[in-house]
Amino acid sequence: MPCCWCGATRRPSSSRCGLNSNAPTRVARGAGGIIARAPAARGGRQGGQSPLMSTRFAPGLAGLLAIVAVAVHPGAATAAPDPLVTAVRSWSAPENTRLVLEFSAAVTTVAPDSGEAPSLVVAIPAPGLGRGPEAPARLAVADGVLDSVRLSTSAEGGRLELWFHQSTTFHVLTLPADDEHPFRVVVDVTRPGAAAEEAARLARIASVKAQTRTRVVAVDAGHGGEDPGARGPHGVIEKRVTLAVARALVAELNRMPGVQGVLTRDGDYFVPLHDRYRIAERMKADLFISIHANSSRRWTRRDRGSEVYFLSLTGASDQADKDLADLENAADLIGGVPRQAEDDLVNILYDVKRTSALERSQLLAESLLDHMAADRRLQSRGVKQAGFAVLKSVEFPSVLVETAFINNPAEARLLASPDFQRQMGRQLADGVKDFLGRSGIGFAVPATGTRGAD
């Protein structure tokens, strides 16, 4: 067995390490830390030799040198395992396709940071690089943006080759490992013409609204793509639950005369937090509702129920709310979006709009939670405030809905149920209807055939 601090092999029958099993090494603590002293010589000098030259002391000297070597070069005691590509995944979004490679350890890549080309090669000079079972050598994407991917590995390293459907722009970045995510290499490939198409779609929605005074509700399904959100038992994943509930809410809203629900994401792909409310601003939305599932770091029986948040300018309601906001705001870091300064809050939120938006946001939160509480299976945890980045627009009332606790086994089963998802959509839609009446915003019935494309 290895020695607890020098790393050498002990004999099973001895408490001393195998560096010198004949004589113990004395250890003293000096000003610079631990100093290993040579074993005490047994008897006097032999044949006029000094103890340093005695054959009995030679193994001890070797042990001392080995200990010093380990102290100076700790990594020399145990060689690091060869790096491994553990996963290769892709996500297709309206404006781009994202390819993500996950690694067991940090690696260096050789590739342009960005550019425009019909293909791309990313070299990975990591000796001994291997592939795990979830990292295929070939991946056919064929989504009109990225045709296919080939990953090859050898003793010298790896080579990632991407073939695009046509010449287009790309960006390459690396994301460091954290407590929940491994080291990643990300390639974003732009869908040619998609940005203009999306701008035109949002402009149409805004134009129809101006003509008919239709009330536009932006519904934001939290997380997406490589940001799965929280996970619950039996494979329940937040990003799937939020999209299902958001779709159910939009379907209910679009049954109301004079109201149109529009999703900020309608698939499994990543959208930066600030882009979510900016999409709503570009369509001239009247309301913004972000759908999430709550989660606690360590579940207890107290972790249950629903709550609705609106923006706080001065801090969260309590530490738990701050922790939750920090967790949700970390979505951008997961997706590779640099942390932004809080100038959105200081420079954009001016007094008149800020006060009006926050007052209406509180009323919207109360209206939604009142109708959510009609489901007796879910406890109402109240209306709260926290600094959620996704709520920082002043153009409309904004709220973040925590539907239920995904790491509560009973509530996770509810969240995974299509019936519950549709019911939650109906309850939230009733809350929107109630808010429109109570706030004075009201309804307007659009002319036939004038509803904006969503």
Q: What is the pTM of this model?
A: 0.75
Angle ∠(215,221,222) on CA atoms, nearest 5: 130
Six token digits for residue 371: 């109708």
pLDDT of residue 300: 84
> pLDDT category, 20, cuts 50, 70, 90?
very low
pLDDT of residue 46: 42
Contacts of 34 (CB under 8 A, 6+ apart): 27, 28, 71
pLDDT of residue 13: 39
Q: Closest Cα to residue 254, out of 419, 439, 426?
A: 426
Domains in the chain with CATH codes: 1-79 (no CATH), 84-190 (2.60.40.3500), 194-439 (3.40.630.40)
Residue-level length of the chain: 454
Range 54-64 average pLDDT: 46
| Comparison of pLDDT for 192 and 442, the residue scoring more | 192
Q: Whole-angstrom Cα distance, residue 381 to residue 404?
A: 10
Q: Closest Cα to residue 310, out of 323, 321, 320?
A: 321
Residues 309, 313, 314, 315: is their CA dihedral positive or negative? positive
pLDDT of residue 376: 85
Q: Is pLDDT of 273 > 60?
A: yes
Out of 92-96, 149-153, 326-330, 379-383, which region has the weakest mean confidence (pLDDT)?
Answer: 326-330
| Comparison of pLDDT for 444 and 175, the residue scoring more | 175
| Comparison of pLDDT for 335 and 31, the residue scoring more | 335
Q: Is pLDDT of 73 > 70?
A: no
Q: Is pLDDT of 21 > 70?
A: no
Residue 275 CA to its chain's centroid (Å): 16
pLDDT of residue 231: 94
Out of 97-111, 276-290, 331-345, which region has the weakest mean confidence (pLDDT)?
Answer: 331-345
For 125-183, write each residue's pLDDT tens digit.
Answer: 999 999 999 999 999 999 999 999 999 999 999 999 999 999 999 999 999 998 888 99
Q: Closest Cα to residue 223, out of 294, 283, 288, 142?
A: 294
Q: Is pLDDT of 348 > 60?
A: no
The pLDDT mean for the chain works out to 81
Q: Between the ranges 74-83, 111-120, 326-335, where is the mean pLDDT highest? A: 111-120
Strands (DSSP E) found in 200-359: 215-221, 259-263, 287-294, 306-311
Range 384-395 average pLDDT: 91
